[in-house]
Amino acid sequence: MTKKYSINDIANELNISKTTVSFILNGRAKEKRIGEELVARVLKLVKEVNYRPNPMAKGLRTGKSNTIGLMVEDISNPFFANIARLIEDRAYEKGYRLLYCSTDNKTDKTRELIGMFRDKHVDGFIMAPPKDIEDDVQDIIKSGLPVVMFDRYLPQIDTDYVVVNNEFSTYNATRHLLQQGYKRIAFISFTSEQTQMVDRMNGYKLAMKEAKQKAFVKEVDFNRNENLIVEPLNAYLKKHQALEAIVFGTDHIGTCGLKVLKDLGLSIPNDVAVISFDDYDVFKLHTPPVSAIAQPIEAIAESVISLLLKKLEQKNSEQPMQKIILSTTLNLRESSAQLKEA
């Protein structure tokens, strides 16, 4: 097995101090007045033995690892996956590497992952936080590490965040359905106390209240097993056959809802109109194409990484926290076409 060389090994082989080797490898030879001949000998040996520095050890010495921890609900979700890729590309351009993970919206798992990232000495955190981790986030901030949240935030914690205008988005979508002639409109989403989900429900309720129409709300517990989402949706829609339209609170429950509507033999939009939050290919390619609320993925990613990079570059300066709220776009398609008179 090929020996893995350390700075100590290189120093011993050349009969010099490891401090001298470290200065040379960190580009400080000229500053420390180290001779060109010695620099050449060190770099030659480093190349010959294929020396690779230990990033964790370097981070301990310099106080900087050039890594960023990204924590999302589910990295396989297109929303989080697309944002992660855009953040990764931008971070790489600035010399940072991205470590990312899925929290599954579980508090205990999130705490463990925060500990793992701190053990790896990440320089900052980007997170879509689950509930009940306020104390953990506060500890991160007190330690001097920047935290930027996105998609949702923790109201009790003063930190930077990037979100969309969730309440107006569902209000606008519901108003569109009302203007199309629909009255019995349901809001179907996952059970959640997170800010973005509460805001989405409030937007729907406000539009229905203004129109003096009864609100129909169905919340389903999130589960990776699609059948455990489909079953309660199926039962609800069978019970409420008079519904004329549905606003789905997320893309995941929206795709499950489309499956249920198909299984029940309901035609879109003739039997029931549909709008979903988040706009992906599955909605564009569906027959008929589904109206959807599109989040500005690129703008979210750019805002998030820009905020964090600014914090990292001006680490010791007092900066006001920034709360960025971006607009969504309601992409109208055949699924929310005007209600036909009976």
Domain of residue 119, CATH code: 3.40.50.2300
Please report, in tens digits, the pLDDT of each residue of the chain (342 residues total). Answer: 467 778 888 888 888 988 888 888 877 788 788 888 888 898 888 888 887 766 555 554 555 789 999 999 999 999 999 999 999 999 999 999 999 999 999 999 999 999 999 999 999 999 999 999 999 999 999 999 999 999 999 999 999 999 999 999 999 999 999 999 999 999 999 999 999 999 999 999 999 999 999 999 999 998 878 899 999 999 999 999 999 999 999 999 999 999 999 999 999 999 999 999 999 899 999 999 999 999 999 999 999 999 999 999 887 667 788 999 999 999 999 999 987 765
Same domain, 303 and 277: no
* Phi, psi of 6, rounded to the nearest 5 degrees: -110, 175
- 302 exposure class (CB count in 10 Å sphere: 0-12, 13-18, 19+): middle
Across-strand partners of 186?
Answer: 216, 246
Measured in degrees and rounded to the nearest 5, phi and psi for residue 5 equal -80, 145
pTM of the predicted model as reported, rounded to 2 decimal places: 0.82
Q: Into how many domains does the chain fold? A: 3
Query: If residue 190 lies in a helix (H) or strand (E), which one and from where to where?
Result: strand 185-190
Q: Are residues 75 and 132 in the same domain?
A: yes
| 183 within domain boundaries | yes
- Find the domain containing 120 and state its range: 64-163+298-325
Whether 1 is in a domain gets the answer no
Query: Which of 217, 288, 287 minimizes the C-alpha distance to 253?
Result: 217
